[in-house]
């Protein structure tokens, strides 16, 4: 007889399939907030970081827990909870730096430093969380955050380590209520302690999501997804206590969701991704930093980026020559083959790379998306290093398990049996990059 509803057994299979599909899609949707929540959690548990503390990530070892960190400049960052601190003051120092404040969906609220309103001259920022108000805001750059938890971070860009260190030590962050006699900002160093910002796998991914959802308001744009999460046991205002069925679905969903995210990042199907049609280098950031287009939230576009990287700022997407940073990624060689840690490659970098400050090539582990963890402690080569140059001003860089004889200065070691990818950064990108007139070559296999 037609029209008979599914029996209980068939209905349960349909519910299981529906919930699995919801979990696998929710994985990509949640990547931005889980990435920051995991970093905040790890800083608290591994370093004992409190709301107004910041952590200095300087060495490659320090940065091994950060998605696609650069290996050239020191990072300083903290994760205040405005529901704890109340309105927050950031006394930002004068000098050569790139900084910013982001909400917990990794949307930039303001830049600080040369691309911020202080324009590198330093200034005071006042950050207000949902529902927070301050009567006297004279002398502050006032920033409103739609989330209570925020990311406050900067990179010291000065090539002189002493000047970079001096700038870092001048950074000051404290509650507005303590402005008359603020305590010094505590600067923490990892000092070899194990930690990771990389979104965890399995059930831990959903535990991190469920926990941060309880501490943040639900944005209007996310109400539909929040409804889809309810059958999975993730609901604001209720504890996350998944039963065995939900655990299995969530674990399977996280596994398949990550495979989707990996394909989305490393084998993009998005149009306009290539920097130039004559090479395989592609733009790493291809979404509006608000994460919104005219008619939809850019879920795939932001998942592409936040699977392989963390945080954004206006300076990272600038189209103004000589300001900010630019990022290009290489995920295969000139023949379209995945980059293999067992093989040796050469990359030809033509003369006059379009960077006002400096440029760098950095290699990452494809599975973890962090700096390649080789025994030599070398993950990048940059124009700030003493590279062997060709007579015409170009440079050949070598990536692989074996150092090229006599060219060790230009070599980045890989780890055998591990795939890798690379990011090319231009600090202060110039017109030849903005116009894509600067030629980029692909990695070539060295037989």
Mean pLDDT of 103-109: 98
Residues 56 and 159 occupy one common structural domain: yes
Residues 313 and 363 occupy one common structural domain: yes
Contacts of 410 (CB under 8 A, 6+ apart): 381, 387, 388, 395, 396, 397, 398, 404
Any idea what the CATH number is for the domain that residue 190 is in?
A: 2.60.40.1610
Last residue of a domain, which of 220, 244, 267? Answer: 267
Residues 148 and 219 occupy one common structural domain: yes
Domain presence at residue 159: yes
Domain presence at residue 241: yes
Residue 375 pLDDT exceeds 90: yes
Q: Report the predicted TM-score, pTM, of the whole model to 2 decimal places.
A: 0.95
Residues 293 and 249 occupy one common structural domain: no
User: pLDDT digit string (tens) for 384-430?
Assistant: 999 999 999 999 999 999 999 999 999 999 999 999 999 999 999 99
Residues 89 and 224 occupy one common structural domain: yes
Residues 299 and 207 occupy one common structural domain: no
User: pLDDT digit string (tens) for 59-69?
Assistant: 999 999 999 99
When mean pLDDT is compared across 151-165, 237-251, 253-267, the lowest value belongs to 151-165
Residue 146 pLDDT exceeds 80: yes
Domain presence at residue 15: no
Residues 337 and 428 occupy one common structural domain: yes
Q: For the chain, how many structural domains are there in total?
A: 2
Domain presence at residue 300: yes
Query: What's the pLDDT at 318?
Result: 81
Query: What's the pLDDT at 5?
Result: 85
User: pLDDT digit string (tens) for 77-91?
Assistant: 999 999 999 999 999
What are the CB-based long-range contacts (under 8 Å, 24+) for 331-336?
331/266, 331/267, 331/280, 331/282, 331/421, 332/280, 332/442, 332/443, 333/280, 333/442, 333/443, 333/444, 333/445, 334/280, 334/441, 334/442, 334/443, 334/444, 334/445, 335/445, 336/280
Mean pLDDT of 211-223: 97
How many C-beta atoms lie closer than 10 Å to residue 186's C-beta?
Answer: 14
Give the H or E element holding residue 355.
strand 355-365
Residue 1 pLDDT exceeds 80: no
Residues 330 and 251 occupy one common structural domain: no
Cα separation, 200 vs 311, whole angstroms: 17
User: pLDDT digit string (tens) for 13-53?
Assistant: 999 999 999 999 999 999 999 999 999 999 999 999 999 99
Side-chain half-sphere of 121: how many Cα atoms within 13 Å?
3
The mean pLDDT value of the chain amounts to 96
Q: What is the DSSP letter of 232?
A: G
Full residue range of the structural domain in which residue 79 is found: 21-267
Cα separation, 409 vs 113, whole angstroms: 33
Mean pLDDT of 439-446: 98
Any idea what the CATH number is for the domain that residue 329 is in?
A: 2.60.120.600
Residues 288 and 258 occupy one common structural domain: no
- What tokens were used for 26? 């929710």
Domain presence at residue 274: no
Residues 286 and 259 occupy one common structural domain: no
Percent of all residues in the chain with a pLDDT value above 70, rounded to a whole number: 100
Query: What's the pLDDT at 385?
Result: 96
DSSP string, 290-338: TSB-SSSB-HHHHHHHHHH-----GGGG--STTSSEEEEEE-B-TTSPB
Domain presence at residue 291: yes
Residues 226 and 306 occupy one common structural domain: no
Contact by Cβ (8 Å): 322, 428: yes
Residues 142 and 176 occupy one common structural domain: yes
Last residue of a domain, which of 267, 300, 329? Answer: 267
Last residue of a domain, which of 235, 267, 299? Answer: 267
Domain presence at residue 191: yes
Domain presence at residue 2: no
């Amino acid at each position: 007889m037609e029209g008979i509803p599914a029996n209980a057994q068939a209905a349960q299979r349909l519910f299981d399939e529906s919930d699995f599909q919801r979990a696998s899609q929710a994985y990509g949707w949640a990547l931005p907030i889980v990435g920051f929540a995991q970093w905040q959690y790890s800083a608290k548990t591994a370093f004992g970081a409190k709301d107004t503390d910041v952590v200095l990530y300087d060495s490659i070892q320090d940065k091994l827990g950060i998605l696609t960190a650069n290996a050239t400049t020191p990072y300083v960052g903290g994760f205040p909870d405005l529901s704890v601190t109340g309105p927050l003051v950031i006394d930002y120092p004068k000098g050569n730096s790139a900084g910013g404040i982001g909400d917990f969906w990794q949307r930039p609220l303001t830049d600080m430093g040369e691309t911020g309103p202080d324009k590198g001259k330093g200034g005071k920022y006042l950050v207000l969380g949902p529902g927070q108000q301050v009567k006297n805001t004279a002398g502050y750059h006032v920033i409103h955050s739609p989330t209570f938890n925020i990311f406050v971070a900067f990179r010291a860009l000065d090539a002189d380590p002493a000047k970079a260190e001096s700038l870092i030590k001048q950074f000051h962050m404290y509650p507005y209520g303590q402005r008359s006699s603020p305590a010094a900002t505590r600067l923490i160093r990892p000092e070899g302690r194990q930690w990771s910002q990389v979104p965890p796998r399995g059930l831990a991914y959903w535990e991190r999501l469920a926990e941060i959802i309880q501490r943040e308001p639900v944005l209007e744009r996310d109400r539909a997804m929040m409804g889809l999460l309810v059958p999975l046991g993730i609901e604001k205002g209720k504890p996350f206590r998944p039963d065995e069925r939900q655990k299995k679905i969530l674990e399977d969903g996280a596994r398949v969701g990550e495979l989707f995210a990996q394909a989305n990042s490393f084998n993009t199907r998005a149009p306009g991704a290539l920097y130039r049609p004559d090479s395989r280098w592609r733009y790493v950031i291809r979404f509006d930093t608000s994460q919104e287009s005219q008619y939809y939230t850019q879920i795939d576009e932001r998942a592409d980026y936040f699977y392989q990287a963390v945080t954004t700022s206006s300076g990272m997407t600038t189209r103004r020559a000589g300001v900010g940073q630019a990022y290009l990624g290489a995920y295969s060689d000139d023949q379209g083959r995945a980059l293999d840690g067992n093989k040796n490659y050469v990359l030809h970098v033509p003369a006059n790379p379009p960077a006002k400050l400096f440029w760098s090539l950095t290699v990452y582990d494809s599975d973890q998306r962090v700096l390649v963890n080789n025994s030599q402690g070398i993950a990048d080569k940059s124009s700030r290093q003493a590279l062997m140059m060709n007579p015409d001003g170009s440079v050949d860089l070598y990536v692989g398990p074996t150092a090229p004889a006599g060219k060790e200065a230009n070599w980045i070691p890989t780890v055998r049996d591990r795939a890798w990818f690379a990011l090319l950064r231009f600090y202060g990108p110039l017109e030849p990059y903005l116009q894509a007139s600067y030629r980029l070559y692909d990695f070539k296999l060295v037989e």
